């Protein structure tokens, strides 16, 4: 006999999208119809299973006085009830679709509300949920009005007949796991709850239902054509364009087009008998033509990011200001496109994209990545029983977002394998909206899609694709290419993005890409700083793979974002080689240069000695000009540079006058050679050797002081606290050097002292630096000399044995005692830079503190190196490098940095550890993509480099 018959919670495991909801329709931000936000504090009760409690709580009069309270929108696991789980693609429950575990955290939410006194007395009303994870059942005043899945999609219910003026009881039961969870396996935290707005909307008789704004632009005539299809007839007015037409009728007038660079929106109104809805209309036409994505007749280059919704305390429950901050940060960092990975965002985000100007790839709430573990068996997207749910998701996205000019591409979802369900979605979308393109990366042959899209392809392959030598189906060969994900911004990195950008700008077919991803999903944590996977005791998790953004969790830009901003600048500023003029190229797709002002400055040894404004012709998009620079100032001695900057000429919606958009820097006269510093002989006395300002231990040859500055532990150093990109993802088939370095023991090098030799002009210390267990080593000679005032160290390194791996770093390290602040240097700055992340590093004089030199990656790792440093002063010591060096200083050792899991594991000691590196290995993107390109390898080869030490006077 079986006891599992019909249960009141059967809907949870039902593949259907739900029941009771109204058909999906266009979203509009406001109207003159009344509405009531039901956001705020709700009563809350958590149960361990879906059916632990009956539905008595939904009945009017139920006393929930002893329940907890949660904020809506919100996730209960971030409000003290249960905890979040992070997995990349593994389902955190047994895979047996559509069944889910008996342990199914279920949150009953209760809210009692009165209608405002001026709420209209006619009965039409709709209750709207903008996002609930993952499945909800809803009762109003004791009546069951339906249930739904599709976490990041809106659901509306007709409720007018159930409303009372006062004491309405809205009960919502939310289940963490449902059949829908199988469709929502995006790489992110699993966060149940009512995480977007809940709103009651008055629906007046004759009010607006669904409508579709068609606003196209003909670049050959400069005219826009507007037609608004509406389920309810009415009129459309656009005062600025003198438009007043009936719905369904089209009208063509001269307009300014909408582009991400010039986001012209026209305010209009859709008026039906019962309602007036404000419209924000952007005229633009998206087509596939000549194998390219063109908007308003021109190909576009996506300089994009993948954006998950994230707030370090509120999870995916974002407020408007946070969304605006995201958009402003993107605009200020030259980003022009967003892929809404991997679900439609809060609708207000798209309003902001329309307003400020960002191209949007709007992606459906769909990912079934976990099925990859079973060779995609039982994948819902290839099982007709699930197709209604997939079509429901496609429709809810397209219908909600179809009136946004910013949305230019619909994406079916992410990492869901292949199958008939995806084809059905693509067919439906193409049929419903022929004015946009369809994307899905998993459709490798572009059977259903209009764009060839890949993720994390290496540079060489991208170049092949750009050259159209990649083969593939006939259809695919005709299509443009985008990298929907590249440049994995986990920890330090991504490296190599400038090299991608060069490819994008060299081959028409390559229409750009989207960095993975916008922001680290760290959760603010009292002891750990920011928590990541595993910090909540999850039995399965993927660690800090969830912290892979260009922003830290608190939205501070990481060096990766600064680098990206430079790499994608919309104006290219290059020197002509002889210092007399500058070449300016307008790299926009649409905008001319009228919004920008140009400034020149002239630096001697990194200090600006003169500056002025530069008059640059108002170049159209794509045009270049050679612009003459003024006569350079007379300079007797020193290294000189021109710096030319493009800044906003006046305040814009997203940036203030003077905001720097682009810059270029080029040398005029080269570096003055570092003096030789020889002539003084080392003197041995009392167990010490002195050589000019240097004091050494006579037995070991170790430097102990430069003048009055104590120095400890100076020696060759090859180890860096491996970055996420050094470690690489475990599925990578390429060599993962982080792993190999550790295996070889580069983190535990032994230093054998072979000889301390006193000569006439030098103190020479011979050593061999090598790891236990292996034959490889680095014969290292430290040769000290002095002119009496300054102390010169020449290091020569000769690899011995069979080195099959590059070195993490190559240089020296030493400790300084006490506070070493301030730190000043002449070299690259202001931020960190590594061989393949150095585009944004600008030569100058910089001042900082040891603490401020650190880049606070959520999982601590190598960071903070300043590149191309000529000299640095720290803790009373001055160091000049020949050649230039990478400069790093911190209040903990590399070993401590390497061992730390969270920022809070790092506590400053008494010593400041300084690294002066002749080289660093590239960064790459191997935490998900390819490693560094060969030209950024730090190979184990013979090397010589020197430093000149002196006491700061
Ligand atoms: C790719 C996913 O699309 C994205 O959601 C994220 O997981 C990213 O990787 C890594 O952070 S999938 C990967 C297997 C290429």
Write out pLDDT tens, residues 765-820: 999 999 999 999 999 999 999 999 999 999 999 999 999 999 999 999 999 998 89
Q: Which two tokens stand for residue 76?
A: 């209960």
Best residue among 86, 87, 88, 341 to mutate for probing ligand 1, ranked by most atoms within 8 Å of CB: 88
Give the pLDDT mean for 874-879: 97
- Binding-site residues, ligand 1, Cβ < 6 A: 88, 186-187, 342, 414-415, 455-456, 485, 516, 545, 548, 928
Residue 576 pLDDT more than 80?
Answer: no
Beta bridge partners of 315: 311
Element (H, E) at 522: none
Neighbours of 572 (CB within 10 A): 15
Query: Where along the chain do its domains lie?
Result: 10-202, 211-284, 288-566, 573-669, 683-951
CATH 2.60.40.10 fits 573-669, yes or no: yes
Choose which CATH entry (3.40.718.10, 1.10.10.10, 2.60.120.260, 3.40.630.30) describes domain 10-202: 2.60.120.260
What's the pLDDT tens digit per position in 243-266? 999 999 999 999 999 999 999 999
Residue 849 pLDDT more than 90?
Answer: yes
- What pLDDT is attached to residue 3? 57
What's the pLDDT tens digit per position in 111-166? 999 999 999 988 799 999 999 999 999 999 999 999 999 999 999 999 999 999 99
Under CATH, which number does the domain 683-951 receive?
2.70.98.10
Cα(454) to centroid(ligand 1), Å: 11
d(CA 133, CA 115): 27
Task: Measure the N-to-C terminal CA separation of the chain; round to a whole number of Å.
Answer: 92
Identify the residue whose C-alpha is closest to ligand 1 atom 4: 187
| Atom number, ligand 1, closest to the C-alpha of residue 490 | 11
d(CA 567, CA 334): 9
- What pLDDT is attached to residue 6? 67
- pLDDT band, very low/low/confident/very high, at 8 (cuts 50, 70, 90): confident
Helix, strand, or coil here: 722? coil
What's the pLDDT tens digit per position in 416-439? 999 999 999 999 999 999 999 999
- What pLDDT is attached to residue 732? 83
Cα(26) to centroid(ligand 1), Å: 30
Residue 760 pLDDT more than 90?
Answer: no
Residue 867 pLDDT more than 80?
Answer: yes
- What pLDDT is attached to residue 401? 98
Catalytic position from the list 147, 309, 415, 463? 415
What's the pLDDT tens digit per position in 667-707? 999 998 888 888 999 999 999 999 999 999 999 999 999 99
Choose which CATH entry (2.60.120.10, 2.60.40.10, 2.60.40.1180, 2.40.30.10) describes domain 211-284: 2.60.40.10
- What pLDDT is attached to residue 647? 98
What percent of the chain stands above pLDDT 70?
99
Best residue among 86, 188, 485, 514 to mutate for probing ligand 1, ranked by most atoms within 8 Å of CB: 485
- What pLDDT is attached to residue 121? 87
What's the pLDDT tens digit per position in 451-497? 999 999 999 999 999 999 999 999 999 999 999 999 999 999 999 99
Query: In the CATH scheme, what architecture does the domain 288-566 have?
Result: Alpha-Beta Barrel (3.20)
- What pLDDT is attached to residue 819? 82
Best residue among 89, 365, 928 to mutate for probing ligand 1, ranked by most atoms within 8 Å of CB: 928
Cα(929) to centroid(ligand 1), Å: 10
- pLDDT band, very low/low/confident/very high, at 726 (cuts 50, 70, 90): very high
Q: C-alpha distances in angstroms, 329 versus 256, 562, 664, 688, 716?
A: 26, 11, 22, 56, 41
Beta bridge partners of 657: none
What's the pLDDT tens digit per position in 278-322? 999 999 999 999 999 999 999 999 999 999 999 999 999 999 999
Residue 4 pLDDT more than 60?
Answer: no
Cα(443) to centroid(ligand 1), Å: 16
Residue 1 pLDDT more than 60?
Answer: no
More confident residue, 577 or 396: 396
| Atom number, ligand 1, closest to the C-alpha of residue 369 | 12
DSSP state of 487: S
Q: Is residue 485 annotated as part of the catalytic site, yes or no?
A: yes
Say if 211-284 and 573-669 have the same CATH topology.
Answer: yes
- What pLDDT is attached to residue 82? 97
Identify the residue whose C-alpha is closest to ligand 1 atom 10: 928
Q: Give the lowest-confidence range in 2-6, 159-163, 907-911.
A: 2-6
d(CA 726, CA 721): 9
In 3D space, the residue among 730, 737, 794, 803 whose CA is nearest the CA of residue 761 turns out to be 794
DSSP result, 50-88: TTSS-GGGGSTT---TTSEEEEESS-GGGTTSS--EEES
Identify the residue whose C-alpha is closest to ligand 1 atom 13: 928
d(CA 153, CA 136): 12
In 3D space, the residue among 149, 130, 12 whose CA is nearest the CA of residue 74 turns out to be 130
- pLDDT band, very low/low/confident/very high, at 564 (cuts 50, 70, 90): very high
Catalytic position from the list 156, 485, 563, 873? 485
For the chain, the average pLDDT equals 97
Q: Is residue 478 annotated as part of the catalytic site, yes or no?
A: no
């Amino acid at each position: 006999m079986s006891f599992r018959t019909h249960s009141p919670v059967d809907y949870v495991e039902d593949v259907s999208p739900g029941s009771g909801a109204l058909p999906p329709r266009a979203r509009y931000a406001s109207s003159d119809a009344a509405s009531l936000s039901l956001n705020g504090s709700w009563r809350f009760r958590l149960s361990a299973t879906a059916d632990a409690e009956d539905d008595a709580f939904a009945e009017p009069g139920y006393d929930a006085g002893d329940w907890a309270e949660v904020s809506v929108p919100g996730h209960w696991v971030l409000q003290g009830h249960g905890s979040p789980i992070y997995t990349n693609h593994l389902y955190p429950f047994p895979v047996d679709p559509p069944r889910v575990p008996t342990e199914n955290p279920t949150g009953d939410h209760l809210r009692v509300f009165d209608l405002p006194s001026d709420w209209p007395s006619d009965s039409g009303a709709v209750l709207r949920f903008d996002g609930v994870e993952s499945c909800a059942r809803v009762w109003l005043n004791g009546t069951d009005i339906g249930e739904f899945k599709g976490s990041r999609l809106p659901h509306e219910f007709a409720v007018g007949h159930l409303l009372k003026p006062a004491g309405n009881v809205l009960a919502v039961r939310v289940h963490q796991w449902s059949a829908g969870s199988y469709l929502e396996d995006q790489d992110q935290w699993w966060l149940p709850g009512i995480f977007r707005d809940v709103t009651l909307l008055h629906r007046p008789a004759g009010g607006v239902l669904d409508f579709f704004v068609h606003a196209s632009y003909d670049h050959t005539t400069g005219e826009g054509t507007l037609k608004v299809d509406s389920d309810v007839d009415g009129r459309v007015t656009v005062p600025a364009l003198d438009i007043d037409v009936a719905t369904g009728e089209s009208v063509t007038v001269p307009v300014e087009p909408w582009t991400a660079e010039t986001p012209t929106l026209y305010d209009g109104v859709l008026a039906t008998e019962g309602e007036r809805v404000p419209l924000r209309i952007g005229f633009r036409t998206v087509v596939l033509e000549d194998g390219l994505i063109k908007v308003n007749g021109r190909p576009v280059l996506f300089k994009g990011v993948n954006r998950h919704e994230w707030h370090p305390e509120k999870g995916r429950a974002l407020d408007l200001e946070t969304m605006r901050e995201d958009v402003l940060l993107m605009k200020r960092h030259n980003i022009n496109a967003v892929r809404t990975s991997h679900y439609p965002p809060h609708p207000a985000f798209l309003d902001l994209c329309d307003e400020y100007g960002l191209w949007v790839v709007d992606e459906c709430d769909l990912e079934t990545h976990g099925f990859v573990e079973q060779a995609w068996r039982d994948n819902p997207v290839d099982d007709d029983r699930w197709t209604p749910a997939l079509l429901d998701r496609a429709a809810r996205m397209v219908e909600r977002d179809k009136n946004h000019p910013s949305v230019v591409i619909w994406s079916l979802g992410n990492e869901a394998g292949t199958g008939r369900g995806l084809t059905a979605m693509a067919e439906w979308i193409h049929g419903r909206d022929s004015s946009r393109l369809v994307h899905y990366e998993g459709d490798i042959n572009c059977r259903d899609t209009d764009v060839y899209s890949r993720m994390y392809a290496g540079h060489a392959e991208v170049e092949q694709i750009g050259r159209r030598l990649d083969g593939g189906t006939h259809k695919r060969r005709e299509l443009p290419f985008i990298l929907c994900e590249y440049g994995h911004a986990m920890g330090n990195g991504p490296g190599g993005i400038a090299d991608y950008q060069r490819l994008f700008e060299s081959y028409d077919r390559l229409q750009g890409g989207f960095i993975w991803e916008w922001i680290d999903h760290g959760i603010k944590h009292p002891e750990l700083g920011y928590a990541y996977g595993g910090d909540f005791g999850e039995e399965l998790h993927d660690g800090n793979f969830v912290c892979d953004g260009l922003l830290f969790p608190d939205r501070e830009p990481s060096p990766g974002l600064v680098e990206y901003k430079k790499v994608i600048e919309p104006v290219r500023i290059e020197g002509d080689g002889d210092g007399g003029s500058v070449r300016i190229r307008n790299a926009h797709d649409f905008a001319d240069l009228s919004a920008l002002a140009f400034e020149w400055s002239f630096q001697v040894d990194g200090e600006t000695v003169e500056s002025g404004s530069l008059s640059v012709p108002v170049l159209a998009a794509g045009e270049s000009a050679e612009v003459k620079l003024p006569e350079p100032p007379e300079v007797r001695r020193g290294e000189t540079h021109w710096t030319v900057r493009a800044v906003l000429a006046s305040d814009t919606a997203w940036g203030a006058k003077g905001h720097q958009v682009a810059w270029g820097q080029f040398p005029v006269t080269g570096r003055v050679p570092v003096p030789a510093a020889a002539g003084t002989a080392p003197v041995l006395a009392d167990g010490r050797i002195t050589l000019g300002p240097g004091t050494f231990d006579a037995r070991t040859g170790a430097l102990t002081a430069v003048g009055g500055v104590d120095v400890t532990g100076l020696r060759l150093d090859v180890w860096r606290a491996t970055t996420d990109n050094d470690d690489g993802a475990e599925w990578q088939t390429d060599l993962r050097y982080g792993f190999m370095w550790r295996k070889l023991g580069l983190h535990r090098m032994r230093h054998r002292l072979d000889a301390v030799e006193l000569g006439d002009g030098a103190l020479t210390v011979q050593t061999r630096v090598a790891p236990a267990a292996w034959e490889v080593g680095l014969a290292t000679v430290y040769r000290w000399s002095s002119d009496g005032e300054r102390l010169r160290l020449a290091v020569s390194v000769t690899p011995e044995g069979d080195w099959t791996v590059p070195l993490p770093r190559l240089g020296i390290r030493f400790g300084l005692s006490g506070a070493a602040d301030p730190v000043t240097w002449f070299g690259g700055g202001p931020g960190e830079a590594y061989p393949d992340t150095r585009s944004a590093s600008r030569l100058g004089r910089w001042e900082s503190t040891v603490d401020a030199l650190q880049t606070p990656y959520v999982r601590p790792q190598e960071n903070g190196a300043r590149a191309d440093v000529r000299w640095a002063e720290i803790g009373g010591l001055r160091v000049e490098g020949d050649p230039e060096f990478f400069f790093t200083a911190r209040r903990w050792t590399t070993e401590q940095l390497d061992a730390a899991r969270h920022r809070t594991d790092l506590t400053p000691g008494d010593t400041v550890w300084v690294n002066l590196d002749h080289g660093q290995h590239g960064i790459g993107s191997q935490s998900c993509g390819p490693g560094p390109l060969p030209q950024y390898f730090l190979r184990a080869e013979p090397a010589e480099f020197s430093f000149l030490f002196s006491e700061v006077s």
